[in-house]
């Protein structure tokens, strides 16, 4: 499912003979930049291919009872209502594996539109804000009755009904009021399904072209001078090297080990709740988040 046409097209931009000795007129990345940035605007086929594959991830979130989806679920298992588990097959060229590997990119460009609230976790999914309520209200999450409750479970005809394991202190009552304030505009519709929508279109529908443009923006947003700052910064070298590995997603997380063919059950060894991906381990894991929060409060950045 991958295409390697760029080297062929690259030759058109190169001056030279059959020995391959020549000079490139422009840097290839420059040629790929879009025309409104004053460049050649060649289609980046790798990005185009990825955008087409992402369409399948989108269809997975949208379609119900589709045969192809049921086959995929039977083979790989569900991570949550929106995606399968990471594929663990070390051998062969699984089409779904190439597609599934794009989920972490895809996920950051989607948001949940709650219908009946039965597919969405009240505390753990980012459905009301960019961050899950768990991260916005860690104090209340600690004492909530059911950390895995669905949004629909917390809704009654009388309104929101949040259950806690003990009576609330005065300041906690104020925090609950904050949550209820955020939920003020939300209505639960028992007849509608929860959906994942694309952030970059007006109607929330995924379009391959929109995904392609988004990919170009992401590429353009990582200017080379970032790396100059990064490497010249006054930081211990071993910290820089490690950070570089994290940014490049090259640390030997279980996710990476799987891609390299190691057979294992992918569980975060800190929380044991979900797969050990780069972003989970270094950003989103409960334990890691506590370290970040500590760091931010010490540095007065909270
Ligand atoms: Zn974890």
Q: Residue 152: give the domain boundaries.
A: 115-193
Reported as a single tens digit per residue, the pLDDT across 18-29 is: 555 555 555 666
97 is a domain residue:
yes
Cα(213) to centroid(ligand 1), Å? 32
198 is a domain residue:
no
pLDDT for the residue numbered 4: 44
Cα(102) to centroid(ligand 1), Å? 20
Q: What is the mean pLDDT of residues 248-254?
A: 85
9 is a domain residue:
yes
203 is a domain residue:
no
Cα(271) to centroid(ligand 1), Å? 4
Cα(131) to centroid(ligand 1), Å? 16
Question: 217 and 76, same structural domain?
Answer: yes
202 is a domain residue:
no
Q: For residue 73, what are the contacts with CB-CB under 8 A and spacing of at least 6?
A: 84
pLDDT for the residue numbered 102: 92
Cα(263) to centroid(ligand 1), Å? 19
pLDDT for the residue numbered 106: 92
Question: 67 and 30, same structural domain?
Answer: yes
Question: 127 and 99, same structural domain?
Answer: no
Reported as a single tens digit per residue, the pLDDT across 54-74 is: 999 999 999 988 999 999 899
Checking if the pLDDT of 269 tops 70, the result is yes
Euclidean distance between CA atoms 86 and 235, whole angstroms:
35
Question: 168 and 285, same structural domain?
Answer: no
Reported as a single tens digit per residue, the pLDDT across 149-172 is: 999 999 988 889 999 999 999 989
Cα(50) to centroid(ligand 1), Å? 28
Checking if the pLDDT of 101 tops 80, the result is yes
Cα(265) to centroid(ligand 1), Å? 14
Residue 115 confidence class, pLDDT cut points 50, 70, 90: very high
pLDDT for the residue numbered 30: 58
Helix (H, G, I), strand (E, B) or coil at 132: coil
Stronger pLDDT, 292 or 20, i.e. the higher one: 292
Question: 291 and 164, same structural domain?
Answer: no
Weakest mean pLDDT among 111-120, 131-140, 142-151, 241-250: 241-250
Question: 181 and 44, same structural domain?
Answer: no
Q: How far is CA 74 from CA 78, 240, 261, in A?
A: 9, 42, 21
pLDDT for the residue numbered 3: 41
Question: 138 and 10, same structural domain?
Answer: no
Cα(277) to centroid(ligand 1), Å? 9
Question: 292 and 238, same structural domain?
Answer: yes
Question: 238 and 215, same structural domain?
Answer: no
CB-count burial class (<10 Å; 0-12, 13-18, 19+) for 84:
buried
pLDDT for the residue numbered 145: 92
Cα(283) to centroid(ligand 1), Å? 9
204 is a domain residue:
no
> What is the signed CA dihedral for 159, 160, 166, 170, rounded to 10 degrees?
-90
Question: 75 and 6, same structural domain?
Answer: yes
Number of structural domains in the chain? 3
Q: What is the mean pLDDT of the chain?
A: 83
pLDDT for the residue numbered 250: 83
DSSP state of 283: I
Stronger pLDDT, 234 or 52, i.e. the higher one: 52
Question: 143 and 27, same structural domain?
Answer: no
Among the three residues 184, 201, 221, which one is the final residue of a domain in this structure? 221
Question: 214 and 73, same structural domain?
Answer: yes
Reported as a single tens digit per residue, the pLDDT across 173-196 is: 999 999 999 998 888 888 999 999
């Amino acid at each position: 499912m991958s295409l390697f046409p760029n080297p062929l097209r690259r030759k058109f931009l190169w001056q030279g003979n059959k020995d391959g000795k020549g000079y490139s007129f422009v840097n290839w990345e420059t040629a790929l930049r879009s025309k409104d940035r004053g460049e050649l605007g060649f289609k980046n086929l790798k990005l185009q291919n990825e955008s087409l594959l992402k369409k399948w991830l989108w269809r997975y979130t949208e379609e119900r009872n589709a045969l192809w989806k049921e086959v995929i679920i039977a083979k790989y298992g569900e991570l949550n209502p929106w995606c399968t588990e990471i594929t663990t097959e070390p051998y062969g060229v699984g089409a779904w594996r190439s597609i599934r590997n794009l989920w972490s990119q895809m996920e950051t460009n989607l948001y949940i539109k709650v219908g009946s609230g039965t597919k969405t976790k009240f505390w753990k999914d980012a459905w009301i804000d960019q961050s899950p309520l768990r991260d916005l209200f860690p104090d209340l999450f600690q004492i909530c009755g059911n950390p895995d409750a669905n949004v629909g479970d917390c809704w009654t005809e009388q309104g929101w009904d949040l259950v806690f394991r003990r009576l609330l202190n005065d300041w906690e009552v104020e925090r609950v009021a904050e949550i209820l304030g955020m939920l003020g505009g939300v209505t639960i519709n028992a007849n509608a399904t929860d959906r994942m929508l694309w952030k970059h279109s007006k109607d929330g529908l995924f379009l391959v072209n929109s995904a392609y443009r988004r990919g170009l923006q992401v590429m353009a947003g990582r200017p080379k001078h970032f790396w100059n700052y990064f490497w010249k910064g006054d930081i211990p070298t071993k910290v820089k090297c490690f950070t570089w590995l994290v940014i490049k997603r090259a640390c030997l997380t279980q996710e990476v080990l799987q891609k390299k063919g190691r057979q294992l059950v992918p569980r975060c060894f800190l929380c044991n709740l979900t797969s050990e991906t780069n972003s989970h381990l270094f950003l989103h894991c409960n334990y890691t988040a506590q370290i970040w929060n500590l760091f931010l409060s010490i540095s007065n950045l909270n």
